[in-house]
Amino acid sequence: MVRLATRLPLPSWPHAVGITALLLISLRMQPLHAAPPVAERKPVTDTYHGVAVAEDYRWLEDSTSADVRTWTAGQNAHTRGFLDALPARSPIHKRLEKLSAAASASYRQVKPAGNRLLALKRQPPLEQPLLVSIASPDAPETERILLDPNVQNSKGTTSIDGFYPSPDGTRVAVILADAGSERGNLVLLDAVTGAPRPDRIERVSFPTGGGSVAWDRDSRGFFYTRYPRAGERPPADLAFYEQLYHHALGDAESADTYCIGKEFPRIGEVFPSVSPDGRHLLVTVQDGDGGDFAHWLRGPDQKWNQITRFADGVKSIVFGPEHQLYLVSRKDAPRGRILKLPVDRPILSEARVIVPEGESVIVGYDWQGLDIVPAFAANESGLWVIEMLGGPSRVRRFKLDGSSPSTLALPPVSAVGAMVPLPDRSMLLSVGTFLTTTGWFRADAAKGGVHRTALVEKSPVTFDDCEVLREFATSKDGTRVPVSIIQRRGTKRNGNNPTLLTGYGGYGINITPKFLGAEGRLWLDQGGVHVVANLRGGGEYGGTWHSQGSGVNKQNVFDDFAACARHLIARNYTQPSRLAIEGGSNGGLLMGASLTQHPELFRAVVTHVGIYDMLRVELEPNGAFNVPEFGTVKNPEQFRALHAYSPYHHVSAGVKYPAVFFMTGDNDGRVNPSNSRKMTARLQAATASGEPILLRTSASSGHGSGTARSEVIQQEADVLSFLFDRLGVPYKETPPASVR
């Protein structure tokens, strides 16, 4: 199944059909419930570069309208009536709830704080993760709870969207948001006792540009991102023009000092970091969500020096020992190379290449909540680099001059999700696979070797009876597209397996192996096959792989996905009547394009918080941040590309569309829920298949970040029961042997 979190959402996630089963499928196609509310048609026409584009459901964009609220409530009621009547829905929900409650604690975003570590701890059955302090990754029993959002909000909708410990470990800045809105305010806590401090700052993070904090090395203050306040800019600009300010402990926010940002683009996303000696401040600015970065450096003289520009291809910079800067560059090297510069003379043209481009992709950076973090690090023990191998990843360690590379011994077909330098010069690595839970490993260059720490999630389900197969589909233009196929050993390729194909393909984001968890276990136990496609538009093979699936080349992503579906059919894993697809956000756009371009290929579609109207998406605050990735209707060539695949504009009356389940959240600040409303209305009016078109709008969630545990389980139960019903899979209530 798909779980949505972080900056941009990433996909996470049996029997032969005889005459009786075919009869059941036929019965399911008949209308079992009252029809959903019909959306009135109110035609509107826009003209782009001489092309008239008409639509009927523009009125559904107004979330404040009583008519829209009534229509949405009616859709929710219809969807609940459909799903709750499914015999498998209740037992699936109970099973997921039981398995979720039985899971052990898990830890993410581990960060040094003086002589201790801070982390977010997910502790079932609590709704939200806790902020905790521990003495070491091998001593979770030393835990102190610093902040429990579940106590602050009994509904479980307050979330920790980011936390930043002071270097001396005495304070921690925490960004809190509510109901998945990603609109965060900063509070300050004592990092030893958890006691609140008086310092508080409003509007530090926003779903458009994220938010970030970096402490002074003396721990007496910190730099933070700040969005305009009312009156500082016009209302239409209050979600833009992110700037950097400095706060001294104990001061009122009104006394904080402006640092930089007025010269940044309207859609600039700002991320500060401070050198180990505290003498230099580095500010990374991303040009919207397109993957281009510029960097400013301030030295002891307090003067700013722009050391890279968006066109320079530098994706990430970290401070290293001996006053050096290390840079990941893709300029003339689409798979990435590492450069080195003295911090006191940061002239890019004088940078020395220490790790040249190779066959693997140097990742460069990754998202951690609303913040961006480097995917490589330099400390006294060497240069540690996460590299991508088409989906799975590895870590190599070099000497600081780029020589003597060695590959760390990690589990096969794994994903390294985070890398944390520790004060003792060792490195913490977050590592997981499709079939094993995520755990933190410690790599120690001095002592040698890599070992698993005590910060390992223990799951109530195992996948010892399963396997991961790595195959390649051939896309329309001949490009080989990798797919990871997860199934129970002994699964027969008889063309009849219920199969779930997932994908993303955007923003240069790498879709890496991720533990399938309880919902994945339930899918496989019904004879299902789970497939993850690594499409162009992602970063699995570097900058070229991304650019071939972005902007005017976006159609390649949809061609890749269709090729993966056909590959599964040709290889006799499944057939169209047993094939479902799922994706979220940019992956939701993928779902919309796939079902409108190839409705005959799939039986069921699950799409979360997706973009479907590509001609109006840029009018939303976060849509403007997406222009570098998708393009703009203001440009004739880009308009033609957008219009050619925009799912909403390619729904045709009388087509037999597959069953579609749209899921969205009222508080989504990244993709306006009106996309789901309009697409639902259009499909319900057009489809001739008799298959259901369902819309589920959650009042307590947004794009995925900060969603309460109970809401996640409800969503998972809805998705599984919908898929089992549409694919004709009888759910087995008997717990399988794979559950402990």
Determine, yes or no, domain membership for 316. no
User: From CA 581, how far away is CA 569, in angstroms rounded?
Assistant: 13
Average the pLDDT over 23-44 and give the result. 67
Q: How large a percentage of the chain has pLDDT more than 90?
A: 88
Of 439, 457, 475, the residue that ends a domain is 457
Determine, yes or no, domain membership for 413. yes
Are residue 520 and residue 391 in the same domain, yes or no?
Answer: no
Domain containing residue 360: CATH number? 2.130.10.120
Q: How confident is the model at residue 738 (pLDDT cuts 50, 70, 90)?
A: low
Looking at residue 735, its pLDDT comes to: 60
Is pLDDT at 97 greater than 80 in this prediction? Answer: yes
Are residue 442 and residue 511 in the same domain, yes or no?
Answer: no
Of 457, 479, 506, the residue that ends a domain is 457
Over the stretch 500-540, which tens digit does the pLDDT of each residue have? 999 999 999 999 999 999 999 999 999 999 999 999 999 99
With the C-alpha atoms ordered 615, 619, 622, 628, is the resulting torsion angle positive or negative? positive
Determine, yes or no, domain membership for 62. yes
Are residue 509 and residue 547 in the same domain, yes or no?
Answer: yes
Q: Which residue has the tokens 């960060």?
A: 111
Q: How confident is the model at residue 737 (pLDDT cuts 50, 70, 90)?
A: low
- Residue 661 pairs in a beta bridge with 606, 694
Determine, yes or no, domain membership for 333. yes
Looking at residue 214, its pLDDT comes to: 98
Determine, yes or no, domain membership for 227. no
What mean pLDDT is reported for the chain?
Answer: 93
Are residue 407 and residue 518 in the same domain, yes or no?
Answer: no
* Residue 692, domain extent: 46-99+461-726
User: From CA 135, how far away is CA 141, in angstroms rounded?
Assistant: 9
Residue ranges with strand state E in 261-322 = 268-274, 281-287, 293-298, 304-308, 314-320
With the C-alpha atoms ordered 433, 436, 439, 445, is the resulting torsion angle positive or negative? negative
Is pLDDT at 552 greater than 90 in this prediction? Answer: yes
Over the stretch 254-296, which tens digit does the pLDDT of each residue have? 999 999 999 999 999 999 999 999 999 999 999 999 889 999 9
Are residue 543 and residue 411 in the same domain, yes or no?
Answer: no
User: From CA 733, how far away is CA 81, in angstroms rounded?
Assistant: 22
pTM for the complete prediction? 0.93
Q: How many CB atoms lie within 10 A of CB 730?
A: 14
Are residue 484 and residue 625 in the same domain, yes or no?
Answer: yes
Q: For the chain, what is the domain count?
A: 2
Give the residue among 15, 9, 13 at the shortest CA–CA distance from 729: 15
Determine, yes or no, domain membership for 117. no
Using CB atoms within 10 Å of the CB of residue 284, give its burial: 0 to 12 exposed, 13 to 18 middle, 19+ buried.
Answer: buried
Are residue 705 and residue 624 in the same domain, yes or no?
Answer: yes
Q: How confident is the model at residue 319 (pLDDT cuts 50, 70, 90)?
A: very high
Over the stretch 625-642, which tens digit does the pLDDT of each residue have? 999 999 999 999 999 999
Is pLDDT at 424 greater than 70 in this prediction? Answer: yes
How do 659-665 and 693-698 pair as beta strands? parallel
Is pLDDT at 31 greater than 50 in this prediction? Answer: no
DSSP type of residue 62: -
Weakest-pLDDT range from 95-99, 403-407, 420-424, 734-738? 734-738
Determine, yes or no, domain membership for 37. no
Determine, yes or no, domain membership for 216. no
Is pLDDT at 312 greater than 90 in this prediction? Answer: yes
Of 457, 477, 502, the residue that ends a domain is 457
Looking at residue 601, its pLDDT comes to: 98
Residue ranges with strand state E in 609-699 = 659-665, 693-698
Are residue 635 and residue 548 in the same domain, yes or no?
Answer: yes
Are residue 437 and residue 333 in the same domain, yes or no?
Answer: yes
User: From CA 522, how far away is CA 542, in angstroms rounded?
Assistant: 34
Are residue 577 and residue 503 in the same domain, yes or no?
Answer: yes
Contact 518, 486 (CB under 8 A): no
Is pLDDT at 1 greater than 70 in this prediction? Answer: no
Looking at residue 17, its pLDDT comes to: 32
Are residue 568 and residue 643 in the same domain, yes or no?
Answer: yes
The runs of H, that is alpha helices, within 29-135 are 66-84, 89-102
User: From CA 495, how far away is CA 574, in angstroms rounded?
Assistant: 4
Q: How confident is the model at residue 592 (pLDDT cuts 50, 70, 90)?
A: very high
Domain containing residue 91: CATH number? 3.40.50.1820
Are residue 656 and residue 721 in the same domain, yes or no?
Answer: yes
Over the stretch 35-83, which tens digit does the pLDDT of each residue have? 899 999 999 999 999 999 999 999 999 999 999 999 999 999 999 999 9
